Amino acid sequence: MEIIRDISSFQSDRNMVVSLGNFDGVHAGHAQLIRRTVSLAREKGLESALVTFEPHPLKFFGADISLISTLDMKIREFERLGADKLFLMKFDEHLAGINPEIFVSEFLVKKMRASFIVVGYDYRFGRGRAGSYEYLVHLSSRLGFTAVQVPKVVVNGVTASSTNIRKALLSGDTDSAALLLGRNFTIAGTVVRGDGIATGIGFPTANIEPVNELIPMNGIYAARVHVDGREYDGALYIGERPTVGSGLKKRVEVNLFGFSGNLYGKYIEAEVVHFMRSDRKFGSVDELKAQIMTDCDNIKVFFEGQK
Protein backbone atom coordinates (compact mmCIF):
# COMPACT_ATOMS: atom_id res chain seq x y z
CA MET A 1 0.00 0.00 0.00
CA GLU A 2 1.34 3.39 -1.00
CA ILE A 3 1.06 6.15 1.62
CA ILE A 4 0.73 9.75 0.42
CA ARG A 5 1.28 12.37 3.11
CA ASP A 6 1.66 15.47 0.93
CA ILE A 7 -1.33 15.76 -1.35
CA SER A 8 -0.31 19.22 -2.59
CA SER A 9 2.14 17.69 -5.09
CA PHE A 10 0.06 14.61 -5.88
CA GLN A 11 -1.82 13.99 -9.11
CA SER A 12 -3.27 10.57 -9.88
CA ASP A 13 -2.79 9.09 -13.32
CA ARG A 14 -5.60 6.57 -12.74
CA ASN A 15 -9.22 6.83 -11.69
CA MET A 16 -9.97 5.66 -8.16
CA VAL A 17 -12.59 4.44 -5.75
CA VAL A 18 -12.06 6.67 -2.72
CA SER A 19 -13.32 6.11 0.82
CA LEU A 20 -13.33 8.74 3.58
CA GLY A 21 -13.13 8.10 7.31
CA ASN A 22 -11.34 8.61 10.61
CA PHE A 23 -11.13 4.83 11.06
CA ASP A 24 -10.27 4.79 14.78
CA GLY A 25 -9.94 1.12 15.67
CA VAL A 26 -10.60 -0.01 12.08
CA HIS A 27 -13.59 -1.86 13.49
CA ALA A 28 -16.09 -4.19 11.79
CA GLY A 29 -18.01 -1.25 10.30
CA HIS A 30 -14.83 0.28 8.90
CA ALA A 31 -13.76 -3.11 7.54
CA GLN A 32 -17.04 -3.42 5.64
CA LEU A 33 -16.52 0.06 4.19
CA ILE A 34 -12.96 -0.72 3.11
CA ARG A 35 -13.89 -4.10 1.65
CA ARG A 36 -16.63 -2.42 -0.40
CA THR A 37 -14.11 0.15 -1.63
CA VAL A 38 -11.54 -2.50 -2.58
CA SER A 39 -14.05 -4.84 -4.24
CA LEU A 40 -15.63 -2.01 -6.27
CA ALA A 41 -12.19 -0.88 -7.42
CA ARG A 42 -11.27 -4.38 -8.54
CA GLU A 43 -14.62 -4.82 -10.26
CA LYS A 44 -14.19 -1.58 -12.22
CA GLY A 45 -10.46 -1.92 -12.87
CA LEU A 46 -9.62 1.11 -10.72
CA GLU A 47 -7.35 1.80 -7.76
CA SER A 48 -8.71 1.76 -4.21
CA ALA A 49 -7.81 4.64 -1.93
CA LEU A 50 -8.54 5.57 1.67
CA VAL A 51 -8.51 9.14 2.96
CA THR A 52 -7.97 9.72 6.66
CA PHE A 53 -6.71 12.52 8.87
CA GLU A 54 -3.89 13.13 11.35
CA PRO A 55 -4.49 14.18 14.05
CA HIS A 56 -7.97 12.78 14.52
CA PRO A 57 -10.43 15.69 14.03
CA LEU A 58 -11.91 15.17 17.50
CA LYS A 59 -8.44 15.57 18.98
CA PHE A 60 -7.87 18.70 16.92
CA PHE A 61 -11.03 20.24 18.35
CA GLY A 62 -9.96 19.36 21.90
CA ALA A 63 -12.17 16.37 22.65
CA ASP A 64 -11.05 14.36 25.68
CA ILE A 65 -10.97 10.90 24.11
CA SER A 66 -8.46 8.07 24.07
CA LEU A 67 -7.98 6.65 20.60
CA ILE A 68 -8.40 2.89 20.17
CA SER A 69 -5.56 2.40 17.71
CA THR A 70 -2.29 4.07 16.82
CA LEU A 71 -1.60 5.21 13.27
CA ASP A 72 0.70 2.22 12.72
CA MET A 73 -2.05 -0.15 13.85
CA LYS A 74 -4.51 1.45 11.46
CA ILE A 75 -2.07 1.24 8.56
CA ARG A 76 -1.51 -2.47 9.23
CA GLU A 77 -5.27 -3.11 9.07
CA PHE A 78 -5.62 -1.03 5.89
CA GLU A 79 -2.93 -3.15 4.25
CA ARG A 80 -4.54 -6.37 5.45
CA LEU A 81 -7.84 -5.29 3.92
CA GLY A 82 -6.18 -4.71 0.56
CA ALA A 83 -6.26 -0.93 -0.01
CA ASP A 84 -3.94 0.30 -2.78
CA LYS A 85 -3.34 3.81 -1.47
CA LEU A 86 -3.69 5.75 1.76
CA PHE A 87 -3.95 9.53 1.77
CA LEU A 88 -2.92 10.74 5.20
CA MET A 89 -4.10 14.34 5.30
CA LYS A 90 -2.94 16.79 7.95
CA PHE A 91 -5.99 18.05 9.84
CA ASP A 92 -5.43 21.73 10.57
CA GLU A 93 -7.33 25.03 10.61
CA HIS A 94 -7.50 25.12 6.83
CA LEU A 95 -8.95 21.63 6.49
CA ALA A 96 -11.29 22.14 9.45
CA GLY A 97 -12.77 25.20 7.77
CA ILE A 98 -12.84 24.02 4.18
CA ASN A 99 -16.06 24.18 2.19
CA PRO A 100 -17.11 20.56 1.63
CA GLU A 101 -17.70 21.18 -2.08
CA ILE A 102 -14.15 22.51 -2.47
CA PHE A 103 -12.81 19.48 -0.61
CA VAL A 104 -14.64 17.11 -2.96
CA SER A 105 -13.92 18.96 -6.21
CA GLU A 106 -10.30 19.97 -5.60
CA PHE A 107 -8.99 16.98 -3.65
CA LEU A 108 -11.16 13.95 -4.36
CA VAL A 109 -12.14 14.62 -7.95
CA LYS A 110 -9.23 16.62 -9.44
CA LYS A 111 -6.22 15.22 -7.58
CA MET A 112 -7.43 11.68 -6.83
CA ARG A 113 -9.65 11.30 -9.89
CA ALA A 114 -12.40 9.71 -7.82
CA SER A 115 -14.94 7.87 -9.96
CA PHE A 116 -16.67 6.57 -6.81
CA ILE A 117 -16.70 8.09 -3.32
CA VAL A 118 -17.63 5.64 -0.57
CA VAL A 119 -18.71 6.75 2.91
CA GLY A 120 -20.33 5.22 5.98
CA TYR A 121 -23.94 5.74 7.00
CA ASP A 122 -23.15 8.61 9.40
CA TYR A 123 -19.95 10.14 8.04
CA ARG A 124 -19.67 13.94 7.98
CA PHE A 125 -16.91 16.18 6.65
CA GLY A 126 -16.02 19.77 5.85
CA ARG A 127 -16.83 23.06 7.54
CA GLY A 128 -19.62 22.70 10.06
CA ARG A 129 -19.79 18.96 9.24
CA ALA A 130 -21.94 19.97 6.26
CA GLY A 131 -20.63 17.18 4.03
CA SER A 132 -22.58 13.92 4.07
CA TYR A 133 -23.65 11.08 1.78
CA GLU A 134 -26.68 13.12 0.73
CA TYR A 135 -24.41 16.08 -0.04
CA LEU A 136 -22.18 13.83 -2.16
CA VAL A 137 -25.23 12.65 -4.13
CA HIS A 138 -26.13 16.31 -4.70
CA LEU A 139 -22.65 16.99 -6.14
CA SER A 140 -22.16 13.73 -8.00
CA SER A 141 -23.77 14.45 -11.39
CA ARG A 142 -22.13 17.88 -11.73
CA LEU A 143 -18.66 16.69 -10.67
CA GLY A 144 -18.81 13.33 -12.44
CA PHE A 145 -18.58 10.67 -9.74
CA THR A 146 -20.89 8.16 -8.06
CA ALA A 147 -21.62 8.35 -4.33
CA VAL A 148 -21.85 5.04 -2.44
CA GLN A 149 -23.13 4.61 1.10
CA VAL A 150 -22.26 1.58 3.26
CA PRO A 151 -24.81 0.73 5.99
CA LYS A 152 -23.91 0.36 9.64
CA VAL A 153 -22.77 -2.98 11.03
CA VAL A 154 -24.73 -4.24 14.04
CA VAL A 155 -23.40 -7.07 16.22
CA ASN A 156 -25.70 -8.60 18.85
CA GLY A 157 -27.88 -5.50 18.68
CA VAL A 158 -24.95 -3.07 19.14
CA THR A 159 -23.67 -0.79 16.38
CA ALA A 160 -20.00 -1.26 15.54
CA SER A 161 -18.66 2.18 16.39
CA SER A 162 -15.51 3.58 17.97
CA THR A 163 -17.61 5.05 20.79
CA ASN A 164 -19.19 1.69 21.67
CA ILE A 165 -15.82 -0.06 21.56
CA ARG A 166 -14.30 2.51 23.93
CA LYS A 167 -17.19 2.00 26.34
CA ALA A 168 -16.77 -1.77 26.23
CA LEU A 169 -13.02 -1.68 26.87
CA LEU A 170 -13.29 0.85 29.68
CA SER A 171 -15.82 -1.39 31.42
CA GLY A 172 -13.73 -4.55 30.96
CA ASP A 173 -16.09 -6.05 28.37
CA THR A 174 -13.35 -7.27 26.06
CA ASP A 175 -15.59 -9.94 24.53
CA SER A 176 -18.02 -7.33 23.18
CA ALA A 177 -15.14 -5.11 22.08
CA ALA A 178 -13.66 -8.00 20.09
CA LEU A 179 -16.98 -8.66 18.35
CA LEU A 180 -17.32 -4.99 17.38
CA LEU A 181 -13.68 -4.73 16.31
CA GLY A 182 -13.70 -8.01 14.42
CA ARG A 183 -10.56 -9.04 16.32
CA ASN A 184 -9.09 -8.79 19.82
CA PHE A 185 -8.02 -5.39 21.11
CA THR A 186 -4.23 -5.23 21.32
CA ILE A 187 -1.92 -3.40 23.71
CA ALA A 188 1.53 -2.86 22.22
CA GLY A 189 4.74 -1.31 23.41
CA THR A 190 8.33 -1.72 24.49
CA VAL A 191 9.28 -3.80 27.52
CA VAL A 192 10.91 -1.63 30.18
CA ARG A 193 12.52 -2.45 33.51
CA GLY A 194 10.18 -2.63 36.46
CA ASP A 195 10.96 -2.75 40.16
CA GLY A 196 11.29 -6.54 40.32
CA ILE A 197 8.39 -7.08 42.73
CA ALA A 198 6.58 -9.58 40.48
CA THR A 199 9.80 -11.55 39.97
CA GLY A 200 10.39 -11.50 43.71
CA ILE A 201 7.11 -13.27 44.40
CA GLY A 202 7.70 -15.86 41.67
CA PHE A 203 5.75 -14.46 38.72
CA PRO A 204 8.10 -12.46 36.48
CA THR A 205 6.32 -10.05 34.18
CA ALA A 206 7.16 -7.97 31.16
CA ASN A 207 6.39 -4.34 31.98
CA ILE A 208 4.94 -2.76 28.82
CA GLU A 209 5.29 0.94 28.06
CA PRO A 210 2.15 1.11 25.90
CA VAL A 211 1.93 3.04 22.64
CA ASN A 212 -1.87 2.90 23.01
CA GLU A 213 -3.86 5.84 24.31
CA LEU A 214 -6.79 3.70 25.43
CA ILE A 215 -6.04 1.16 28.16
CA PRO A 216 -8.88 -1.14 29.29
CA MET A 217 -10.33 -1.22 32.79
CA ASN A 218 -8.03 -2.34 35.60
CA GLY A 219 -7.99 -6.07 36.13
CA ILE A 220 -6.58 -9.45 35.15
CA TYR A 221 -7.00 -10.63 31.54
CA ALA A 222 -6.22 -13.71 29.50
CA ALA A 223 -3.79 -12.49 26.84
CA ARG A 224 -2.14 -13.80 23.70
CA VAL A 225 1.32 -12.28 23.47
CA HIS A 226 3.38 -11.84 20.29
CA VAL A 227 7.14 -11.30 20.48
CA ASP A 228 9.95 -12.07 18.01
CA GLY A 229 7.54 -13.89 15.70
CA ARG A 230 6.35 -16.26 18.41
CA GLU A 231 3.08 -16.44 20.32
CA TYR A 232 2.54 -17.16 24.02
CA ASP A 233 -0.52 -17.40 26.23
CA GLY A 234 -0.23 -15.21 29.26
CA ALA A 235 -1.76 -13.35 32.19
CA LEU A 236 -2.10 -9.60 31.64
CA TYR A 237 -2.39 -7.21 34.56
CA ILE A 238 -3.63 -3.62 34.29
CA GLY A 239 -3.72 -1.52 37.44
CA GLU A 240 -1.95 0.40 40.18
CA ARG A 241 -0.86 -2.69 42.17
CA PRO A 242 -2.73 -1.68 45.34
CA THR A 243 -1.24 -4.49 47.46
CA VAL A 244 2.45 -3.75 46.83
CA GLY A 245 2.62 -0.52 44.83
CA SER A 246 2.19 3.16 45.46
CA GLY A 247 -1.15 3.27 43.72
CA LEU A 248 -0.04 6.28 41.70
CA LYS A 249 0.83 4.88 38.26
CA LYS A 250 -1.17 2.47 36.14
CA ARG A 251 0.91 -0.55 35.15
CA VAL A 252 0.55 -2.88 32.18
CA GLU A 253 2.36 -6.14 32.90
CA VAL A 254 2.15 -9.58 31.35
CA ASN A 255 3.41 -12.96 32.49
CA LEU A 256 4.19 -15.13 29.45
CA PHE A 257 3.51 -18.81 30.07
CA GLY A 258 6.43 -21.03 29.07
CA PHE A 259 8.77 -18.17 28.19
CA SER A 260 12.34 -17.89 29.42
CA GLY A 261 14.72 -15.18 28.35
CA ASN A 262 15.27 -11.44 28.35
CA LEU A 263 12.53 -9.20 26.98
CA TYR A 264 13.96 -5.80 27.94
CA GLY A 265 13.83 -3.38 25.04
CA LYS A 266 11.72 -5.67 22.86
CA TYR A 267 8.51 -4.56 21.19
CA ILE A 268 5.64 -6.87 22.12
CA GLU A 269 1.95 -7.02 21.40
CA ALA A 270 -0.60 -8.45 23.82
CA GLU A 271 -4.04 -9.35 22.50
CA VAL A 272 -6.51 -8.75 25.32
CA VAL A 273 -8.57 -11.90 24.92
CA HIS A 274 -10.81 -12.18 27.99
CA PHE A 275 -11.47 -10.33 31.26
CA MET A 276 -10.91 -12.64 34.23
CA ARG A 277 -11.42 -10.50 37.34
CA SER A 278 -11.25 -6.96 38.71
CA ASP A 279 -8.17 -5.59 40.44
CA ARG A 280 -8.29 -5.38 44.24
CA LYS A 281 -6.09 -4.96 47.28
CA PHE A 282 -5.10 -8.09 49.21
CA GLY A 283 -4.34 -8.37 52.90
CA SER A 284 -0.79 -9.62 52.40
CA VAL A 285 1.80 -10.47 49.75
CA ASP A 286 1.21 -14.18 50.42
CA GLU A 287 -2.51 -13.72 49.74
CA LEU A 288 -1.66 -11.87 46.53
CA LYS A 289 0.76 -14.61 45.48
CA ALA A 290 -1.90 -17.30 46.01
CA GLN A 291 -4.39 -15.32 43.94
CA ILE A 292 -1.91 -14.82 41.09
CA MET A 293 -1.30 -18.57 41.03
CA THR A 294 -5.06 -19.12 40.82
CA ASP A 295 -5.36 -16.48 38.09
CA CYS A 296 -2.68 -18.16 35.99
CA ASP A 297 -4.33 -21.57 36.42
CA ASN A 298 -7.72 -20.13 35.45
CA ILE A 299 -6.27 -18.46 32.35
CA LYS A 300 -4.58 -21.70 31.28
CA VAL A 301 -7.93 -23.50 31.65
CA PHE A 302 -9.59 -20.73 29.63
CA PHE A 303 -7.12 -21.13 26.76
CA GLU A 304 -7.45 -24.92 26.86
CA GLY A 305 -11.16 -24.40 26.28
CA GLN A 306 -10.38 -22.28 23.23
CA LYS A 307 -8.49 -25.06 21.46
Q: How far apart are CA 197 and CA 34, in angstroms?
A: 45
> Cα separations (Å) of 192 from 7, 189, 253, 263, 270?
38, 9, 10, 8, 15
CB atoms within 10 A of CB 82: 15
Same domain, 125 and 259: no
* pLDDT score at 245: 65
Per-residue pLDDT band at 260 (split at 50, 70, 90) = confident
* pLDDT score at 51: 97
Same domain, 300 and 217: yes
* pLDDT score at 228: 92
Check pLDDT > 60 for residue 198.
no
What type of residue sits at position 18?
Answer: V
Same domain, 29 and 96: yes
Check pLDDT > 90 for residue 242.
no
Check pLDDT > 70 for residue 259.
yes
Q: Of 290, 294, 262, which Cα lies nearest the Cα of 277?
A: 294
- Is residue 213 in some structural domain? yes
- Mean residue pLDDT of the chain comes to 92
Per-residue pLDDT band at 54 (split at 50, 70, 90) = very high
Per-residue pLDDT band at 201 (split at 50, 70, 90) = low
- Is residue 201 in some structural domain? yes
Same domain, 38 and 137: yes
Q: Which of 195-204, 266-275, 286-295 has the lowest mean pLDDT?
A: 195-204
Cβ contact 17:99 at 8 Å: no
Same domain, 8 and 71: yes
Identify the residue with better confidence: 181 or 129.
181
- Is residue 69 in some structural domain? yes
Q: How far apart are CA 293 and CA 132, in angstroms?
A: 54
Cβ contact 285:201 at 8 Å: yes
Instruction: Work out the percent of the chain whose per-residue pLDDT is above 90.
Output: 80
Quote the domain boundaries for residue 36: 2-152
Q: Which of 152, 176, 209 is the last residue of a domain?
A: 152
Over the stretch 22-51, which tens digit does the pLDDT of each residue have?
999 999 999 999 999 999 999 999 999 999
Please state the domain count of the chain.
2
Sign of CA dihedral 40, 12, 127, 1: positive
- Is residue 195 in some structural domain? yes
Q: How far apart are CA 158 and CA 37, in angstroms?
A: 24
Rounded to the nearest 5 percent, the helix, strand and coil shares of the chain are: 35, 30, 35
Per-residue pLDDT band at 196 (split at 50, 70, 90) = low
Same domain, 14 and 107: yes
Q: How far apart are CA 18 and CA 26, in angstroms?
A: 16
Same domain, 146 and 195: no
Q: Under DSSP, is residue 106 helix (H, G, I), strand (E, B) or coil?
A: helix
Cβ contact 123:133 at 8 Å: yes
